[in-house]
Amino acid sequence: MEHSISEVARMSGLTSRTLRHYDDIGLLRPVRTASNGYRWYGRRELLRLQRILFLRELDVPLAQIGRILDGDRDGVAALRRHRADLVAHRDRLEEIIATVDRTIADLTGQAHLSEEEFFTGLSARRDDLRRDLEARYGAAAGEHFTGADTVTGGWTREEHEQAAAQGRRLLRRLSEARSSGTAPGSAAVLDLMSEHYQGVRLLWPADAAAYHALADVVTGNPNQRAMIEEIDPLLPPWLADAIRAYAVRRLGYVPARGRE
Amino acid sequence: MEHSISEVARMSGLTSRTLRHYDDIGLLRPVRTASNGYRWYGRRELLRLQRILFLRELDVPLAQIGRILDGDRDGVAALRRHRADLVAHRDRLEEIIATVDRTIADLTGQAHLSEEEFFTGLSARRDDLRRDLEARYGAAAGEHFTGADTVTGGWTREEHEQAAAQGRRLLRRLSEARSSGTAPGSAAVLDLMSEHYQGVRLLWPADAAAYHALADVVTGNPNQRAMIEEIDPLLPPWLADAIRAYAVRRLGYVPARGRE
DNA sequence: CTGGACCTTCTCGTTACGTCAACTTCTAGC
DNA sequence: GCTAGAAGTTGACGTAACGAGAAGGTCCAG
């Protein structure tokens, strides 16, 4: 009892193209290929196909399916690893969905947690910030503020608002990381901090040292601190740690002992 | 304040290749490209990139990111649709994880719900089945059983066991669909039934009419019924409906009024 | 012997880039 | 001015799992 490729396609719900593909990659070979090139499948092939379809439905990559079915050596271990991937994927989706929800709420104006602009608010208080940095670290730290090119003057009102919303979203994501017990220096947080660093650089060409100095500003500067506490009262010191961690680990900042 | 491609790469954590790619597909154009081909990015481009990264982290496809950022016309609606996709994806993952768990349990012998073989059990009772079908629908229905080529005689013991485990898993997945209130004729169930049909065909070249006749067997034949009830007491009648639905909707069976 | 159904082997397109390869350009040091 | 090295460029191929379509061979019924 042999079956043509279209018969197998009908029985399995696959297309003949897919079956040809499985032949190409060696996942499911026909029992024989006639001299005219026609593929013929037998019962044993159908059994294998059935198991292929099952594993495929579990999102197991075809290559792995082949390994599981061939050397059955440790199909269970492979499945366990696959399960771990699935769970991680699902957890990540949970986070993403939550973030999307808050983003939608933010965009539709349902969330007025803070009408203040974050990055732009930062920009509006440049003089304040500059004095703060200079007082803490001397004139060199504030020097970067001199260029007029760092101002956001060229932005439209819409761009301002988008930047502000972006900043609030970022702070909320950081708040989430903090409240879930994630360390400020963990890789996941540093990834988020790269967004923060980039946001800061939109307004101010901070190098590693200047960015590092910003850590003290978010806890020490009343305006900055109040803006952040409005989103999460416990965030400022944690954010300060994250800023320092990012400056050191991703920007290569070497904690100064008085150089320059 | 213009930035070279490698500066932007460092700031954003992307590679220069990725930035070149974004230029190619029109997602992020440099503010200018010098006569030597070098790309230069300004503040406005960094702002756009920041929003790109945010949406990208939410698994929004690049093409859609472009549409959202350009004509901001209905970015919220797009996000809502995207959210629906994410939720569906997560729900599907939940199901898959549950199935993988049961599969692992099955493979490691932790689940001895039924030591009987399903498809192979069906095979072992071929005479029984044949008499049943003939009694219900006349000799024509049982005729398919005559070929010796339908026997699973060529199978190894391992193949028998795998087929049996596969059959039990399928019944459990069907049971899950039933208990969650899914209709036997729904697309999702028909997809599962294609596995059932294929499993049956491994043992017995049933056409649409013969498969349709099998519906009465799973409720009427004591052996079959008992085997299925062992997995889910409420499954037999529901499974019968699913078999009929599959025969009609996927195999094109026309409910007979006495033809042939 | 002809039409239609079914089969074959290319080949390109999809997504979001990674990874060479081959070349040009810029910059710093001698 | 020369040269090495860093950084830039444009192709072009590879990835996973096929879909779609082209161009052509094969089989079967009327």
Element counts in chain A: helices (H) and strands (E): 13, 2
Per residue of chain A (260 residues), what is the pLDDT tens digit? 789 999 999 888 899 999 999 999 999 999 999 999 999 999 889 889 988 988 898 888 999 899 888 866 666 777 787 888 888 888 878 877 877 787 777 767 654 433 333 444 444 444 455 455 555 554 554 455 444 344 454 555 556 666 777 788 788 888 888 888 889 988 888 888 888 887 777 666 677 777 888 888 788 776 677 778 878 888 889 999 999 998 888 877 777 654 33
Sign of CA pseudo-dihedral B209, B211, B212, B217: positive
CB proximity under 8 Å: A 59-88 to B: 59, 75-76, 79-80, 82-83, 86-87
Q: Which of residues 21-60 of B touch strand D (CB under 7 A)?
A: 37-39
Question: Could you give the 3-state DSSP secondary structure of residue B259?
Answer: coil
Q: E strand or H helix at A205, and its extent?
A: none
Judged against a pLDDT cut of 70, whether residue B168 lies above it is answered with: yes
Bridge partners for A41 per DSSP: A3
Dihedral sign, Cα of residue B86, residue B87, residue B88, residue B91:
positive
Q: Using the CB atoms, write b or e for A168-203: b if 16+ within 10 Å.
A: bbbbbbbbbbbeeebebeeeebbebbbbbbbbbbbb
Q: Is B173 on the interface with A (CB under 8 A)?
A: no
B218-227 pLDDT tens trace:
887 766 777 7
ipTM: 0.61
Tell me the C-alpha distance between A161 and A107, whole Å: 10
Residue with tokens 């044993």: A44
Nearest to A47, CA basis, from B120, B173, B240, B206: B120
Q: What are the start-end ranges of the H helices in chain B?
A: 5-12, 16-24, 43-57, 62-69, 75-107, 119-124, 126-137, 139-142, 157-179, 187-203, 208-220, 222-231, 235-249
Nearby residues of B70 by Cβ (< 8 Å), 6 or more positions away: none
**Cβ–Cβ < 8 Å for A35, B190:** no
- Select from B8, B108, B120, B202 the residue whose CB has the most chain A CBs within 10 Å, as the one to mutate to test that interface: B202
- Which pLDDT value is given to residue B225? 78
Query: What would the pLDDT profile of A163-189 be if each residue is shown by its tens digit?
Result: 777 788 788 888 888 888 889 988 888
Cβ atoms within 10 A of the Cβ of A115, count? 8
Give the integer Cα–Cα distance in Å for A164 and B62: 23
Q: Which positions 17-56 of B are in contact with A (Cβ < 8 Å)?
A: 43-44, 46-47, 49-51, 53-54
